[in-house]
């Protein structure tokens, strides 16, 4: 089962990378000219990252990783797709932005990367590709320095209930254990792209996202929900304001994003008598 989903999703993201690098959605030429690909949500949440070490999980082809590096972070990006990692490395060399990129599935990351980080970051379309969020949290805790921060901003599980084309609720809120397996054409960055791929993905509730970190003793510093997406990445979205896209009937505010910020406790010093 594990090899099935990893192989299928790896092949899917290889195909997506070939399309995404040339898409208006990613605006790679604008990025090369200095455009920052990050959004105000994550920029405001993490603040000044200058001189801080960061592990960016599921980094795709590295635009956000390199954007953090442009802001002074010492970045390591990790992704499942070899084509995405190859492109990320090429961009790092071309733009002379120092960053390290590692090809690996998330659960194998501790076998591929040494060291600990001040920040672990992931965003926008990540946790739904993972079957086990307890293991996900274990990997994140493993890489955090004492006092280090984990931050995620991602699409809300309530939004993921919908079939975006029909508007019907078609997926479960709670993890059913087994993945959804779907064949799709195109991609969110280019719905007309002539690519066909098989995807394995899972539904996860907010409880399932948050609880593993609390069980591991990480301190919850901030949790937020947002009624818009910064990306026009699903069918039938409308732009209500510049950079704010919403799905569904006008006037009905749906949760589109959530963000979570947790801190690993500092190691306790030995007590003296």
In a domain, 246, yes or no: yes
Residue ranges, the chain, pLDDT below 70: 1, 250, 268-273
Q: Answer whether residue 67 is part of any domain.
A: yes
Residue 163: helix, strand or coil by DSSP?
coil
Answer whether 37's CB lies under 8 Å from 63's CB: yes
Structure tokens at 94: 């071309």
The pLDDT assigned to 261 comes to: 98
Q: 3-class DSSP state for residue 258?
A: strand
Q: Which domain holds residue 60?
A: 2-263
Tell me whether residue 270 is in a domain: no
Distance CA 176, CA 172 (A): 8
Task: Specify the CATH number for the domain of residue 78.
Answer: 3.40.50.150
Any domain includes 269 = no
Q: Examine residue 36 and state whether it is found in any structural domain, yes or no.
A: yes
What does the pLDDT look like over 160-200, one tens digit per residue? 999 999 999 999 999 999 999 999 999 999 999 999 999 99
**72 inside domain:** yes
Q: Which of 260, 264, 262, 220 is nearest to 41 (CA)?
A: 260
84's tokens: 């995405």
**Please, where are the H alpha helices in 21-165?**
28-32, 40-46, 63-70, 82-95, 109-112, 133-143
Tell me the backbone φ, ψ of residue 24, rounded to 5 degrees.
-65, -30
**SS3 of 137, please?**
helix
- Tally the domains of the chain: 1
Dist. CA 24–CA 164, nearest whole Å = 21
Q: In this structure, what is the dihedral angle of CA atoms 244, 245, 251, 257, given to the nearest 10 degrees?
A: -80
Closest to 255 (Cα-Cα) out of 153, 154, 159 = 159
Q: Is 272 domain-assigned?
A: no
Does the reported pTM lie above 0.85?
yes
In a domain, 191, yes or no: yes
Instruction: Say how far apart CA 124 and CA 150 lie, in whole Å.
Output: 15
């Amino acid at each position: 089962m594990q090899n099935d989903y990893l192989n299928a999703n790896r092949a899917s993201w290889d195909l997506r990378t070939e399309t995404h690098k040339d898409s208006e959605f990613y605006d790679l030429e604008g990025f090369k000219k200095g455009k920052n690909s990050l959004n105000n949500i994550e920029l405001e949440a993490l603040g000044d990252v200058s001189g801080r070490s960061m592990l960016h999980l599921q980094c795709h082809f590295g635009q956000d990783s390199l954007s953090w590096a442009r802001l002074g972070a010492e970045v390591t990006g990790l992704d499942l797709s070899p084509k995405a990692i190859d492109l990320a490395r090429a961009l790092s060399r071309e733009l002379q932005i120092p960053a390290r990129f590692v090809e690996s599935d998330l659960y194998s990351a501790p076998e591929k990367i040494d060291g600990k980080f001040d920040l672990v970051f992931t965003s926008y379309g990540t946790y739904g590709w993972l079957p086990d969020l307890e293991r996900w949290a274990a990997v994140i805790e493993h890489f955090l320095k004492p006092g280090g921060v984990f931050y995620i901003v991602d699409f809300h599980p309530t939004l993921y209930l919908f079939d975006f084309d029909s508007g019907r609720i078609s997926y479960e809120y709670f993890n059913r254990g087994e993945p959804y397996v779907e064949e799709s054409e195109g991609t969110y960055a280019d719905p007309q792209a002539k690519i066909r791929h098989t995807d394995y993905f899972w539904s996860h509730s907010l409880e399932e996202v948050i609880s593993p970190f609390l069980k591991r003793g990480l301190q919850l510093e901030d949790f937020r929900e947002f009624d818009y997406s910064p990306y026009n990445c699903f069918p039938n979205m409308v732009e209500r304001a510049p950079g704010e896209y919403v799905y569904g009937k006008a006037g009905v505010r749906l949760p589109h994003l959530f963000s979570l910020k947790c801190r690993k406790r500092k190691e306790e010093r030995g007590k003296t008598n």
